[in-house]
């Protein structure tokens, strides 16, 4: 088979021990590009994401998005025999992903030092709330806790209201992205630089904190503590989520004088260029409410199609705030193949975000549906030398 069929990560085996989002999604990102991802789940119930969120005919939709391109093995890691089986699996693995609370893997005898003794080339990715070290390492943490501790929640929301969480699990997904990125760095070091395996330690809060731009830098050098300002941002003046005349919202931001000139041309308001309140970006930011009010009035004054035509004509960056209904109907999503289709053997066609990014020479292979719990236990144990009778015995005793 060609690389285009198999994917650029074909030949890399990943053991996904994670639960819910951050760890498993890191493995999903690798699986999207051809890695052989083996999902290791508890025999009873499996990963909680199977039951979490929206269900269709008994199938968890969240699981079916993030469980794609994986094989499922059930294994009781709390049992010594289950731990022995995992060590055998590690001998054939390149990467192990886990997002348990720090110390859990060590209690099971599956910490990195002991697994490295089995396979010195193993790369182990550990994702936790606060990392493997530091005074808060033992604390439990989830997505929203990572958002809070990173400082992001403090600056999200209206100035006169409470902090607001984003509409998706941002800390989990950013940690998954950073984790997958780290795994690729470690694989490159191991395979292209003749290195060894290594342990990767990343956390929810640090994955979000890395994307807080100059928040702490400005505080340190200028004593400026950023506060919640709703939809306003110092790099966008004018800038807001402006209501359209049909009740939707349009995002428009202007960050330079030349772009402001084009906006004024689109609005047919050349007088604004001469207004000392709006002559420079700093002056526009100092008068942000006034300039936003003027732009808001213009956007509400005409049909959305007219406003969009004018914004496009003058080369301005903008977007309507899209709902799921608008996403699935939009020609840009269709043209780019941004939405993938998976044929599920029991519930039929499912649409979901396609693999990303797009690689011109080594694209992602076709998606495979998420597996049923334990669907691949027998063949994978057979690979390790277990007979059918021994597998049946392990299953009867709750090991698999």
Residues annotated as part of the active site: 172
Residue carrying structure tokens 């999902």: 39
CA 125 – CA 259 distance, rounded (Å): 44
Q: Which tokens in the block code for residue 308?
A: 């969009």
DSSP-assigned states of every residue in 352-363: EEPPSS--SSSP
- The two structure tokens encoding residue 39: 């999902």
C-alpha distances in angstroms, 201 versus 112, 133, 140? 11, 9, 16
Tracing tokens 């970006």 back to the chain, one arrives at 281
Q: Are strands 59-60 and 95-98 parallel, antiparallel or unpaired?
A: unpaired
Which distant-in-sequence residues (6+ apart) come within 8 Å of 179 by Cβ? Answer: 22, 23, 26, 97, 125, 127, 200, 202
Using CA atoms, how far residue 343 sits from 39, 65, 90, 366, 370, in Å, is: 20, 12, 31, 11, 10
Start-to-end Cα distance in the chain: 33
């Amino acid at each position: 088979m060609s690389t285009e069929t198999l994917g650029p990560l074909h030949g890399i085996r990943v053991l996904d021990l994670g639960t819910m989002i951050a760890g498993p999604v890191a493995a999903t990102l690798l699986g999207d590009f051809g890695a052989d991802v083996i999902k290791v789940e508890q025999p009873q119930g499996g990963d909680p994401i199977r039951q979490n969120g929206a269900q269709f005919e008994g199938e968890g939709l969240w699981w079916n998005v993030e469980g794609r391109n994986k094989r499922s093995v059930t294994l009781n890691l709390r049992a010594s025999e289950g731990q022995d089986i995992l060590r055998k699996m590690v001998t054939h693995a390149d990467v192990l992903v886990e997002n348990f609370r720090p110390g859990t893997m060590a209690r099971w005898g599956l910490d990195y030092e002991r697994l490295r003794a089995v396979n010195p080339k193993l790369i182990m990715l550990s994702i936790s709330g606060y990392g493997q070290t530091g005074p808060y390492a033992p604390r439990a943490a989830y997505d929203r806790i990572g958002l809070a501790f990173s400082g992001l929640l403090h600056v999200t929301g209206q100035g006169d209201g409470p902090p607001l969480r984003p509409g998706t699990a941002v800390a989990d997904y950013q940690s998954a992205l950073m984790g997958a990125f780290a795994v690729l760095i470690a694989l490159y070091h191991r395979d292209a630089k003749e290195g060894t395996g290594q342990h990767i330690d990343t956390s929810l809060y640090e994955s979000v904190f890395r994307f807080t731009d100059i928040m702490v830098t400005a505080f340190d050098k200028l004593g400026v503590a950023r506060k919640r300002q709703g939809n306003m941002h110092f790099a966008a003046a004018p800038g807001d989520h402006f209501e359209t005349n049909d009740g939707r919202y349009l995002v428009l931001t202007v960050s330079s004088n030349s772009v402001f000139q084009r906006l004024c041309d689109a609005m047919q308001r050349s007088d604004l260029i001469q207004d000392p309140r709006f002559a420079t970006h700093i002056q526009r930011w100092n008068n942000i409410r006034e300039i936003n009010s003027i732009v808001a009035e213009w956007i509400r004054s005409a049909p959305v199609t007219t406003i969009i035509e004018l914004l496009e004509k003058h080369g301005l960056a903008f977007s309507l705030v899209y709902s799921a209904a608008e996403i699935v109907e939009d020609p840009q999503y269709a043209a780019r193949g941004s939405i993938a289709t998976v044929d599920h053997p029991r519930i039929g066609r499912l649409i979901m975000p396609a693999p990303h990014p797009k690689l011109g020479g080594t694209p992602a292979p076709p998606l495979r549906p998420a597996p049923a719990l334990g669907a691949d236990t027998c063949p994978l144990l057979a690979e390790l030398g277990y007979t059918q009778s021994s597998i049946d015995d392990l299953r009867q005793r709750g090991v698999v």
